[in-house]
Structure 1
Amino acid sequence: MKLKDVRFRLRGDIEPDKRIVIVAIDSKSIDRLGRWPWDRKIIAKLIENLKEVRVIALDIVFSEPSNAYSDKLLSYAVNKNNVVTGYYFRDEETKIHPQSYLNLMHSKIKIVKILEDVKILPVKEFPYAELNIPLIKAQAGFFNIFPDDDGVYRKINLLVLYNGELYPHLSLKTLEKFKNSPLIVGITNYGIKGLWVGNELIPVDESGRLTINYYGKGGSFQTVSAVDIINGNLKLSSDNIVFIGATEMGISDIRNTPFDPVMPGVEISATVLSNILKQQYLIHNAWVTLLDIAFIAIPVLLLCLFLTKASKTLISLFIFSGITFLTYLSNFFIFKAYFLDLSIIYPFISLSICYLASEAYRNLIIEKKSKFIKKAFSSYIAPELVEIIIKNPDKLRLGGEKRIITVMFSDIRNFTTISESLNPEQLVTLLNNYLDPMTKIVLKHKGMLDKYIGDAIMAVYNAPVDLKEHAREAVLTALEMLKELKSLNEKFAMMKFPQIGIGIGINTGEAITGNMGTEKRFDYTAIGDTVNLASRLEGLNKFYGTKIIISESTFNGIVNKEQIFIRELDLIRVKGKKEPVKIYEVMEEDSPLISVVKDFEKALHLYRNCMFKEALKIFTYIHEEFSDQVSSIYEERCKDYILNPPPSDWDRVYTAREK
């Protein structure tokens, strides 16, 4: 796209249709008549003084009533003269007066030819519109313009869907008024087949968009100050088409175009109308496609021919640069002379691929080594790590570093019992069917598969490469694993295998990460208390009857908790650690317990404030209604503390007796 923008600037200015004039609400008019918006009787006078011209297009919307007298004067001037009013579509909800909507209905595309069965129309659609006040009943066109992804306005949507109807852009509605011919839209199963004004075809794409052929920077059209028209100092001819809009920098809608980063939006509408009137379209039809193919194939063939003669990389680079430059130069001259919108990127891509393939051939031995490393490591190491190893083989040396990571442990429940019910072949099949999708989920969320420990999986996030939301990615991994497990159990049922459940523990903290082992055999792994605690948390799922337990550090590390449902479980001292840890349960999105999280938190607050009888009632309710094992645990604790109150220095911490 940027290369096409350069092509515009190299071409230079061309002349637009001289009949189109922009009446500008500019700095001169603002200085003489006061700050914008003006009293509507001033706009009414402006329109009255332009009544001799062919069409007046207003790149302005009057959506809110002002004083009744001015509104009446404006509506009279608009409705009796040859005026096309403006409005715009929006995503935010807005109230529409019923009469304003009825007025808008008169401006829809009335002739729509459906040529084939249509299921989806790929035209931009909006749920809401900002319309003119009910008194203004003239024909109208929307003046929205939508940029490309990089913020540059290269195409314009001439059609928009609203409430199941097609509506035209301001420039298109102005053309209809000027030609006094109806707009006709042809629709086929892939989208818009054609857009006509009378018998004249406008070459839009399937979404109703037209590529804009800009004439130059802002000011390419004849532009006059609104104040000169209002004061009668200047008159326009009856052949003129007038666009009224803001160009003063403080109030205008400035747009970034290939020619000008600060072009007023009203001038873009004028440009589109001029393109249509002069038929100066940027052409991209079947013949242009054939020419595109030639521009892709011929330079590549020439490059291949010359590269076979080049023995050094520097010479190859010079040949590649020369052919690329000549290709762009040819493309530019065809664009300038015939307005053919040839592709630039595809010839460049094909030339680049050819050049890179040639250079890759020179480095075949290095490539073979890279493939070996990828094959050796990609099945169990995150793709980012594989790339680091390929680029920096020294990473394979022994050593470690301290870094903040998130560690996830998952384990199959009652695996010993399951293994005893299956023969060795069946057990291997079950494990392979389980470990394969679970590993893919880890890698999908940019985790590093550290190791398999029998039926258990250990994964590390934020090592060896940085991962911004590593705590969130680990939790999303756990949730997706539970979701995948449901599908797996359906598969296991068909295979006559036992159903399996898993527990997952996640912890975030500082650990030593790196290659551990000997010079001949080592693994990239993580060690430290952070890893040990994650393992302990996984085991606690058996005690609490939960599936996913995370530590407080992981909870705090999840910056974006959207669509993640979490409740605090306990303040616990795990085996082997003196300091207590606050732990949380991550619940699946379909868990019925989500509805009573607030009740559970209230009961937990009462419990920690030694209000055991009050807490007992809530815990009992949640336990009985939802079969919640956590509430059952607290229920028993409350009963115990009611009979045997805790000491005054009670620290509210539960000490786990098992790993």
Structure 2
Amino acid sequence: MKQHALRFAAGLLIVFALIGHVLHRYDVRFIDTLDALAYDTKIRLTMPRGVDTRIAILDIDEKSLAELGRWPWDRARMATLADTLFTRDGVALLAFDIVFAEPDESSGLPVLNRLGKSDLQDDAQFQRALPGLAAQLDYDRRFADALRGRPVVLGYYFANQGASSGAIPPPVLPATAFGAHPMTLFDWSSHGGNLPALQTAAGRGGFFNPVIDFDGSVRRVPLVTEYRGGVYEALSLAVVRALSGDAPLALVFDDPADAASTLAGLALRTPRGTLAIPVDANGAALVPYRGRERSFAYFSVADVLAGRVASGALRGKIALLGTTAPGLVDQRATPVGEVYPGVEVHANLIAGMLDGTLRAEPSFAGAVQALAVLIAGCAMIFAWPWQAPARATLLTVLLTGCVIAADLALWRYRAWSQPVASLLLAIGALFVLNMSYAFFVESRARRRFTQLFGQYVPPELVEEMSRHPESYSMAGRRAELTVLFSDVLGFTAIAETLEPEELAVMMNEYLGTMTAEIRKERGTLDKYIGDAIMSFWGAPMEDRDHARRAVAAALGMRAALAELNRTFAARGWPTLWVGIGINTGPMTVGDMGSTVRKAYTVMGDAVNIAARLEGLTRHYRVSILVGEATRLNAPDVVYREIDRVRVRGRATPVAVYEPLMTNDTWAAADAAAREPLAQWHAVLRHYRAREWDAAGRLLATLIERDPECGLYVAYRERIAMLRETALPADWDGVNTFDTK
């Protein structure tokens, strides 16, 4: 140890120097430059490219200036432009990346007013004509009239110098909305707004201040900012709110119960649900650039006014009025271009919010990076001296690759922006000092991996996962998965008919058989809840076919149960009837619980729906029910639509289906075997059209063919009840269930 003391001291000096930068005790411009370079590279490598046609850039370009004259144009022309866009072109919304700060005197109206009060005050004819002229020549009022009552968002800006001018809209939230949480938003001392008449007519508005990084590039834009006791919204956020019916804005904190936590995001409560918008501690969002300049549809304003735009080209689009003309100075340096139109920055933010693709830089990113530097650095410092050079080089390459891979994975799958330059510099600098450590022992990692996942997933999956253990984690994450719930119907009554020993043997055989079917389809066993089974697909190992495998497992469970019941009958045991519910959707998966006990499980709204579907099997007297998302993601199965239901906790109806057999089996069936499915779907059509007699006749035919089908009987009973019920005019055939 003594002979390596100098190396240890030098290594610790490097580690703690880098940690000081990571925790912002001081800034090292070289490291900031590397982080910016890494961020820009990830943006360019992963941007979707292509043209987003939902948003149209109305460009005040050089062509427009050549045809229409120098900027600013008179407000009469702007009024004509607004009227044209809404009445002829049918845009959904119009936003201005421009400030109309000064009155328009180009019409000569102020001169006429002065003459009316001086040289021509005694000219009766002039005095009679003046009011009519004023109505025609008050271009600001004409522009205000063109904005009034329409979905329009005006732009304005904040500053920290000079006096305020113009009007701005009221704040979207009071500063008191932060409660006891620390204020970390950008603050300003003045603003540059629009003429009061224009702002009053438009109603909405948003600021367009970007954040200029140390290298002059625009990578993020504040979506909310604090000004004189209020919280104001950015132009892009105002557009998204306007499209969502002026949805109310809420602040989301890291930990609402902790007064020391900082702003973590925004939420729009729209009629279609809550739209989450991640922001950093300054209320700023990273701009999700989709490509280089002109990643959105551009239309010259001159062409719009001249009617040279193709009919319908702007209909239903979000129109942003901005400029690319060099002389009007609205060009930005960005990761995707050194000269990039400022209006397109807003377009990228709007598209990102609508698509839910905004990336977050977590408030704990610095702490995570500092901890990573400390752990990796200390490990390398005290292990590298005992490694051979070749092995040290190999391990360094592997460690560097893992850091880069983890960063890319967070970027791609968790939408996180995590600075990594300090960590990579620590690895590189410590390698130069020729220190190495054993990163991990493969056999030990595999044993630990087996301990973590072996009780949940099939052994063959554990073996496959252990080849790349760095790719898997039990940490909580958000993913689209498929979850399955199964439960024995009437289990309490069954249990009362058997001795405890017999019941234990029976349930072990049942659970073992059902679990084998789940594992056959590579499912992750979540838990047993008495006689109920919960399992899911798509985690910890990613599986694009998770929905198909879950449905195949359910069909296998149904077939295996039929065979198992024959065995039980031979022993004199009761027959088991099982209900299975399957649903696909976004859910949180990971190791969850308390310090006493944890479990690798899933939770979320999609999980709750699966549990409710399992409960609905009793009502419809079928063995399996799946949700709409599962059916769409498992198309190689023939389904029977069962109903459209509204379950507790959800206002939106959910279509539910029963999987019958695979497409191959269905294709091999004869026409007689296929006929009942077509007749059943005809029953549903008559039922939803309130054609009770037609539905009843078809049901009678189906029941005669298959009197054991509980679904047919259930619908016959429901139709009999509805015949005696006075249904409202807007009855939509949706069945509402208030119980869980």
What TM-score does the superposition give when structure 2 sets the normalisation length? 0.43
Q: Which has the larger radius of gyration?
A: 1
What TM-score does the superposition give when structure 1 sets the normalisation length? 0.48
